[in-house]
Amino acid sequence: MKLIINPVAALTMAVALMCASCNKATAADPAPTTTTDTMTTNIDTTGTKVRIETSMGTFTVLLYNDTPIHRDNFVKLASEGYYNGTLFHRVINQFMVQAGDPASKTAQPGQMLGSGDPGYTLEAEIRFPQRFHKRYTLAAARTGDQVNPERRSSGSQFYVVTGTKVPEAALPQLEARINNSMAQSIFNGLAQQHMDEIRAMQAAGDQAGLKALQDKLVAETEAQIAANPFTLTPEMKKAYAEVGGAPHLDGQYTVFGEVIEGMEVIDNIEKVETDRNDRPTTDIRIISTTVIPAK
């Protein structure tokens, strides 16, 4: 695996938007799925659930027990009515639908949204590859790695994945892309450790020094990936080929639940008309949230 990247660029790369830091689907991505299957046959549905009533219908999410910080926080906010009146303020067809910004309760038409929160963030609970971004998974939005290297989650904003199907023939490329994403993350982390050295060489115009350091960090990155390469699990292959999702987010955001009822509501939300900032032109509002305790 070869990384073509400048270490200085790695340090200055900034992603400023919540979950929007995830790239939009491109023309090269597979065609969207229209199925409402959720592959819940192996999911323990006895856990805590939250029923979310919206102006476009009601859906229910199951919260995973192996992400207890996010589970308990979501239950707390839902129980308090925190989400009541908030909007699905960011919707991208074939990608995801996002909500949970408290500022959206009183937002004016066309107002930019996505930076509101309850005043705190949550420790990351990234359980990859056990938890991954298949269609209808529930995950926590966050700011980008540059300003948030610990990948802490927003205290309230969440998204539900829609995404696209990945043809079986494209699964090897998907696996390679995930490995490359892991390599990029490793490289950026190593570059961060050499921030002072990089800045000093940049200030001195020491291009040879920067090139030597880049080569060193690339070699270290490739060695780490070679020692522990990522391989798609059978469950991931089946889910991405048959149901779809957003695999380019895997390992970077906390997945803490999934929709188990009312998937058609998510299907309908993702297809609404949006403005240039991906906000629906007609408000889609959360009316109420009801916690259904674990059995």
Q: What is the pLDDT along the chain (295 residues), one digit of tens a residue?
A: 444 444 444 443 333 233 333 333 332 233 333 333 334 445 677 899 999 999 999 999 999 999 999 999 999 999 999 999 999 999 999 999 999 999 999 999 999 999 999 999 999 999 988 999 999 999 999 998 888 988 999 999 999 999 999 888 888 888 888 888 888 888 888 988 999 999 999 999 999 999 999 999 999 999 999 998 888 899 999 999 999 999 989 988 999 999 999 999 999 999 999 999 999 999 999 999 999 999 8
Measured distance CA(274)–CA(278) in Å, rounded: 5
- H or E stretch including 159? strand 158-161
Is 129:233 a contact under the CB 8 Å cutoff?
yes
Stated pTM of the model: 0.78
Q: What is the pLDDT of residue 276?
A: 94
Q: At what angle do helices 171-193 and 195-204 cross, to 10 degrees?
A: 80
Homologous superfamily of the 7-170+231-292 domain (CATH): Cyclophilin-like (2.40.100.10)
Instruction: Tell me how many degrees the CA angle 248-133-245 measures, rounded to the nearest 5.
Output: 80
Q: What is the pLDDT of residue 231?
A: 86
Give 155's Cβ-side CA count (13 Å radius): 11
Measured distance CA(154)–CA(145) in Å, rounded: 13
Q: What is the pLDDT of residue 42?
A: 57
Going by C-alpha positions, the residue among 63, 41, 58 that lies closest to residue 294 is 63
Measured distance CA(187)–CA(10) in Å, rounded: 8
Instruction: Tell me how many degrees the CA angle 86-97-137 measures, rounded to the nearest 5.
Output: 110
Structure tokens at 261: 């009822």
Classify residue 209 as left (phi > 0), alpha (psi -120 to 50) or beta.
Answer: alpha
Q: What is the DSSP letter of 184?
A: H
Q: What is the pLDDT of residue 27?
A: 29
Quick one: CA torsion of 199, 204, 208, 214, rounded to 10 degrees?
A: 0
Structure tokens at 178: 């995930």
Q: What type of residue is 27?
A: A
